[in-house]
Amino acid sequence: MKLKKLLEGIEVSDCSEGVLDYEIEGISEDSREDLEGKAFVCLVGEHNDGHDYIGKAVEKGAKVLICERVPQGFEEYPHVIVNSTRRTDAFLWSRFYGDPADSLKVLCVTGTNGKTTITYMLKSILEEMGKKVGVIGTIKNMIGDVEVKSSMTTPLPAQLYKLIADMRDAGVEYLVMEASSHALDYEKLAPITPEIGIFTNLTPDHLDYHGTMANYAKAKAKLFKMSKISVINADDSYGKYMYEQASGRRYTYSRESRYADFTAQNIVSNGIRGSEYDLISENEAIHISCAIPGAFSVSNSLAAAVSARLCGASCKDVALALRRLQGVSGRMETVSLGGDFTVLIDYAHTPDALENVLKTIRAFKTPSQRLVALFGCGGDRDKTKRPVMGGIATAMADFTVITSDNSRTEDPKEIIRQILTGVSEGSNYTVIPNRTEALQWVVRNARKDDIILVAGKGHENYEITAEGKHPFSEKAILKAALAEKESGRN
């Protein structure tokens, strides 16, 4: 494909003579690859700058360099100068695969919490309509019913646009995807015009990258400048900002106010069995039953229902699909152990998410039941939330087990020390740095009718430590611990 075709829509500030007519056989951002016939994109990132690897790229046979500045020492080498190599990289890959997103109706969900649950709710409703649906997100990617491995919430452009092209070729009609703040900030989604952009909420997270909540909000708001329709949570303090940033049609939803476009009214909690409510708009009312407990699940199902209705789903499709959906992996998921206590696994890894899930459990547990929370904080991530989460867990749970959770390159004990700075004197807790041992401990010490919340990892089937990434199944560890307890070997 000619380079000028790949660069359509990208502002080129300078280029070598004749370079736009070059035939390009591929694209790469890795100077270690064989680059014969390929365009080498000099990505500028947090820790690395692709311009520093131009010499290696030339040695590897790069046909042309895509840069943000004239390549020093290689001024005569074929090159193109653009304003942002990140943005350009996304367009190059999209063009390379024939702009596959243009053939699909794309629904994007962004926010700190709730993204994954909403994507699966939407998938359920759209399939109830008889549509073939693709999913890109945290748990896994899916082309219809076929699972595709997922390594990050929003894949890199090379993988993202190949995946969307595979969806197009497989006959997918709707793509429902999570849009992370990193992906939006890096403009991975720049070539896509979503039919609908959905905002869930914004609470402190990823501040190790964004620095401030203002920057975090600005990154998230990019989605609503791109989307044809924006569906905004009016209950969130950042909802007004997102609404103001939206460039297309705008709708609000709320479980707390009757002044939004779509509201949840007559809410009834059925405890661990979920909630039901009436979705009310100017023109209609739909009775919704959701099997996932918690006020946040009312908000999530409301967002999914509203977005699906805007896509043409009938009231019947919406109500039936949400009633049938029994849950999402690692989101308030009940683990069937067979013991005389209950274990819930949840992905809660931010202060707001942890508080919400603990508040939900406290609302449906009986006075005689004990709430035990097990959690840790990730390494090489925002350190400011560690003491906050320590304070929330020990204040809201009857007993807390503080442990590790993907410590990465950090010392787990140092992470725990920082968590403990937020714990009040006299709180009921224990510290068990090894997460396997912590899981075994909560099972051995579980009392009849206890509700045990295992927070932080959710769907994850791995643990990341200084030694690297290795398989880690919380469910398997819990089941083995119960079997050992019941055999009397503990």
Q: Which residue is listed with tokens 């997922």?
A: 150
Please say which residue of 46, 69, 96 terminates a domain: 96
CATH number of the domain where residue 360 is located: 3.90.190.20
Write down which residue in 96, 124, 146 finishes a domain.
96
pLDDT cut 70: percent of the chain above it: 99
Are residues 75 and 131 part of one domain?
no
Task: Specify whether 269 is located in the same domain as 349.
Answer: no
Q: What angle do CA 6, 12, 13 make, to 5 degrees?
A: 165
266 and 172 part of one domain: yes
Average predicted confidence (pLDDT) for the chain = 95
Q: Predicted confidence band at 489 (pLDDT cuts at 50, 70, 90)?
A: low
63 and 25 inside one domain: yes
How big is the CA angle at 90 (ends 189 and 86), to the nearest 5 degrees?
100
Q: Look up residue 71 and give its amino acid.
A: P
Q: Rounded to whole angstroms, how far apart are CA atoms 19 and 17?
A: 6
- Per-residue pLDDT at 353 exceeds 70: yes
Residue 185's CB is within 10 A of a number of other CB atoms, namely 18
pLDDT > 70? residue 41: yes
d(CA 442, CA 435): 11
Residues 191 and 126 placed together within one structural domain of the fold: yes
**Which structural domain, as residue segments, surrounds residue 395?**
333-486
DSSP state of 247: -
277/425 same-domain check: no
CATH of the domain at 77: 3.40.1390.10
For residue 490, pLDDT over 70 is answered with: no
Tell me: pLDDT of 466 over 80.
Answer: yes
Q: Which of 270, 269, 268, 286 is nearest to 278 (CA)?
A: 286
- As a whole number, mean pLDDT of residues 391-417 equals 97
Q: Are the beta carbons of 368 and 341 closer than 8 angstroms? A: no
In a shared domain, residues 143 and 289: yes
84 and 119 housed in the same domain: no
pLDDT digits over 218-271, tens only? 999 999 999 999 999 999 999 999 999 999 999 999 999 999 999 999 999 998
Last residue of a domain, one of 75, 96, 117: 96
38-41: strand order across its sheet? 12-15, 79-82, 64-67, 38-41, 26-28
Question: What is the average per-residue pLDDT within 66-88?
Answer: 95
**pLDDT attached to residue 14:** 94
50 — pLDDT class (breaks 50, 70, 90): very high
CATH, residue 263: 3.40.1190.10
Q: How many domains does the chain have?
A: 3
Any idea of the CA torsion for 347, 353, 359, 361, to the nearest 10 degrees? -10
**pLDDT at residue 333, as a whole number:** 92
Tell me what pLDDT residue 179 has.
95
Q: Positive or negative CA dihedral for 321, 325, 329, 333?
A: positive
Cα(340)–Cα(450) distance, integer angstroms: 8
Do 248 and 350 fall within a single domain?
A: no
Q: Which amino acid is at 225?
A: K
Residues 403 and 444 in one domain: yes
pLDDT of residue 154: 82
- Asked if residue 429 lies in contact with residue 402, where contact means CB atoms within 8 angstroms, the answer is yes
Q: How confident is the model at residue 138 (pLDDT cuts 50, 70, 90)?
A: confident
- Band of residue 9 on the pLDDT scale cut at 50, 70, 90: confident
287 shares its domain with 166: yes
Terminal alpha carbon distance of the chain: 65
Q: Do 303 and 353 share a domain, yes or no? A: no
Supply the pTM of this predicted model: 0.88
**Please, which pLDDT band fits residue 200 given cuts at 50, 70 and 90?**
very high
